[in-house]
Structure 1
Amino acid sequence: MKIAFYGSSLVSSYWNGAATYYRGILKALHARGYDITFYEPDAFDRQQHRDIDPPPYARSVVYPATVEALNGVLAEAAAADIVVKANGVGVFDAELLDGIVRHARGDALTVFWDVDAAATLDEMRADASHPVLRALPALDMVLTYGGGPPVVDAYTGFGARHCIPVYNAVDPETHHPVPRDERFACDLAFLGNRLPDREARVEEFFLRPAAALPKQRFLIGGNGWESKAMPDNVRHRGHVYTAEHNAFNCTPRAVLNVARDSMAHIGFSPATRVFEAAGAAACLITDAWEGIEQFLIPDVEVLVARDGQDVADHLAALTPDRAAAIGEAARRRVLAEHTYDLRAEQVDALFRAHRAQAAA
């Protein structure tokens, strides 16, 4: 089956945290026989900061961020059996969603794939004319990369026919243990872009422990932090390319996950970095959110912190041996239960069941 997928970027993770999710899911779907074309706009300097060349598992189409080019790539949706619009493209989001509904064949499966469902739902509650609300009656299903029962209930309450979470996962060929890299040597590392709905939580869970532990070393990676005031024991790395993620995760004594406000509030939303770190056998400290035990066992496969003081306490007590044991336990868990091959098996079953139902 042919998939036309309209998203932010497959080849660049620059200001695009969903890149590794797209890569993992689409690579595994391609292995199951899907013919995939990924359409992404040339925007936000992503093409100047590519992490990968166009991959063998999807045809990569980069189009100028113009109305003419947008209409050209939307017209190609008519050739697909499955047409997907992901949120957070950043340009023409409303037009893309309206366009896939307009251009998809009558027998094609139309999907809205929400990689920031909690935030999208907040927008929908505040705006009765939201483009997703307008499109829901014409869409066959909504897939999300997190959110659990609260997101499913909210989407179906807004009128979605089906809403199914397809969680982040690990591709063991991409994220795995590697030798130390002294560029990333520290006691605690955090990787994430500076965003308005994350910054206060980074201050609490990362900068507050850094200030409380002046003799320990902290490292922050991601875009936007260069102008942020930080304690002297915090080093800013800037954008960390995906090829460096394994070393970034393997080298520190521990790595930190900090959810965005909406994801922390709704729960059941493990970020890509949770599985990337676990796949690399990193000792992960995560802020507390409902549903974490569905993915990793607290105190065995992950350390959970309710606030910055908990992070500082975890670090103060964390020996290298215990960090290694937690990281290895997490790696075994995600390889057994949370790989993109398993997520693709889930998505493939959903797609095939829908087509069989439609044919019947």
Structure 2
Amino acid sequence: MTSYTYVFLGLSITSSWGNGHATTYRGLLRELTARGHRVVFLERDLPFYAQNRDMPDPAFARTYLYDSVGELRERFALTVREADLVVVGSYVPDGVDVGAWVQKTARGCTAFYDIDTPVTLRNLQRGKVDYLSRELIPLYDLYLSFTGGPTLGFLERDYGARCARPLYCSVDPDLYRPDPDIEPRWDLGYLGTYSDDRQPSLETLLFKPAEAWKKGRYIVAGPQYPASTMWPRNVERVEHLAPGDHRAFYAAQRFSLNITRRDMIAAGYSPSVRLFEAAACGTPILSDRWQGIETFFVPGWEIALAQTPVDILRYLREVKEPARRAMAERARKRVLREHTAAHRAEALERYTTEVLAFRGARTRKHSVRRAGSLA
């Protein structure tokens, strides 16, 4: 197996507070290192994350903080120049400037890792993205996307992406696994940061069932919910849940609720990391519907789909315990077969080999043409 040097410039790996990027990077980079690759992570030192760092010094990657694009250029030009693949992530501050500098500096291949693909594309159409531009997309050798399906072809056809490939979120099965010592405390739980476009679904699929079935026990964990939010009395609240507490949180639920952002529903093929985490912990999932969900879990067999409060209450009150556990176990096995961080590291390794070979072939072809013109 060929060993590569990877340099990632991402939103954050040191803090999981209020973002899903850190968990994704941690799992992916840990597995890349385990497979023998050299990994560096460069993170902008932002005050918000500085105050909430739950992994300030990851053991599996050389991690450095920088204060500005200027400092990035001064300190890490050699690091970027010598990498086999340089990956710039979505929501990196001044990402357009960072991406342009990477294109000028890197001698190896470059990639853009879009952890927010549907949001990125919507905002590109509105001209409101500060971490990516239409002009930059064709310059990256590889466009890695949290969204698969038709979006990949759209990126290549309409935006000129050279090579668009899926690199979905994933789960670390060593951290997310069943805990037989924990008995369920809640009938339904939800884990997610507040967002305007998810809130109506949360109210439909959790608030209304809670109001209709007052004996039920519910919980919502996640930051940034407005103070004006009207919480039903039987819904517990947790402001922030660190990744180290996720396993116990899932284990204490009879069912876990998955809610998808509007842009992700419109694009389809955009699984949330919470799907894989809950399944890996052996907690059955109730999810909203979106195109492509069947490519990740079999509806009615590995996952249950719900559109109304009636759907939710039917599962909470009518599904027998053996059936509940069986669905959870089937989902867990599916995740372990296809959706761990190790699977994503293997995929990135394949993509790296692919784009490096393509670049080599392109360079050789250019050299032959140039030699012929000089003959």
How would you bin the TM-score normalised by the shorter chain?
over 0.9
Alpha carbons 1:255, 1:283 under 8 Å: kept:
yes
Map of 2:95 onto structure 1:
93
Q: Which has the larger radius of gyration?
A: 2
Over residues 82-124 of structure 1, what are the superposed CA-to-partner deviations in whole Å (9 max), with x where a residue is unaligned?
A: 11100023x222222222222222xx11100000101111112
In 2, distance between residues paired with 1:98 and 1:292? 35
Displacement of 1:43:
1.7
Residue 196 in 1 paired to residue 196 in 2?
A: yes
SS in structure 2 opposite 1:134?
coil
Map of 1:54 onto structure 2:
57
Displacement of 1:39:
1.0
- Structure 1 range deviating more: 226-235 or 5-14: 226-235
Displacement of 1:181:
5.2
Displacement of 1:281:
0.6
Alpha carbons 1:287, 1:307 under 8 Å: kept:
no
Alpha carbons 1:193, 1:223 under 8 Å: kept:
yes
In 1, distance between residues paired with 2:129 and 2:210? 44
* Aligned pairs for 1:20-59 within 5 A: 20-59=23-62
Uncovered stretches (5+) of structure 2, i.e. residues with no partner: 362-375
Displacement of 1:231:
1.0
Map of 2:74 onto structure 1:
72
Amino acid at match of 1:80: A
SS in structure 2 opposite 1:268?
coil
Over residues 50-83 of structure 1, what are the superposed CA-to-partner deviations in whole Å (9 max), with x where a residue is unaligned?
A: 233522321111223x344343355242232211
Q: Judging changes above 3 Å, is the alpha-carbon distance between structure 1 residues 351 and 283 closer, same or farther for their aligned structure 2 residues?
A: same
Over residues 267-291 of structure 1, what are the superposed CA-to-partner deviations in whole Å (9 max), with x where a residue is unaligned?
A: 1111111101111111111111111
Residue 338 in 1 paired to residue 339 in 2?
A: yes
Alpha carbons 1:124, 1:133 under 8 Å: kept:
yes
* Aligned pairs for 1:126-205 within 5 A: 126-127=126-127, 131-146=132-147, 148-156=148-156, 157-179=158-180, 185-205=185-205
In 1, distance between residues paired with 2:360 and 2:17? 41
Q: Judging changes above 3 Å, is the alpha-carbon distance between structure 1 residues 178 and 81 closer, same or farther for their aligned structure 2 residues?
A: same
Aligned length: 354
Alpha carbons 2:69, 2:98 under 8 Å: kept:
no
Map of 2:369 onto structure 1:
none
In 2, distance between residues paired with 1:74 and 1:19? 21
Q: Judging changes above 3 Å, is the alpha-carbon distance between structure 1 residues 339 and 216 closer, same or farther for their aligned structure 2 residues?
A: same
Amino acid at match of 1:16: N
Q: Judging changes above 3 Å, is the alpha-carbon distance between structure 1 residues 128 and 54 closer, same or farther for their aligned structure 2 residues?
A: closer
Map of 1:278 onto structure 2:
279
Identity %: 33
Amino acid at match of 1:95: D
- Structure 1 range deviating more: 43-52 or 165-174: 43-52
Over residues 332-354 of structure 1, what are the superposed CA-to-partner deviations in whole Å (9 max), with x where a residue is unaligned?
A: 11112222222222211111122
SS in structure 1 opposite 2:51?
helix
Runs of 4+ in 1 over 6 A off after TM superposition: none
SS in structure 2 opposite 1:152?
helix
In 2, distance between residues paired with 1:128 and 1:316? 45
Map of 2:371 onto structure 1:
none
* Aligned pairs for 1:105-144 within 5 A: 105=107, 108-127=108-127, 131-144=132-145
* Aligned pairs for 1:184-263 within 5 A: 185-225=185-225, 227=227, 228-263=229-264
In 1, distance between residues paired with 2:329 and 2:345? 24
Displacement of 1:178:
1.9
What's the TM-score, normalizing by structure 1?
0.92
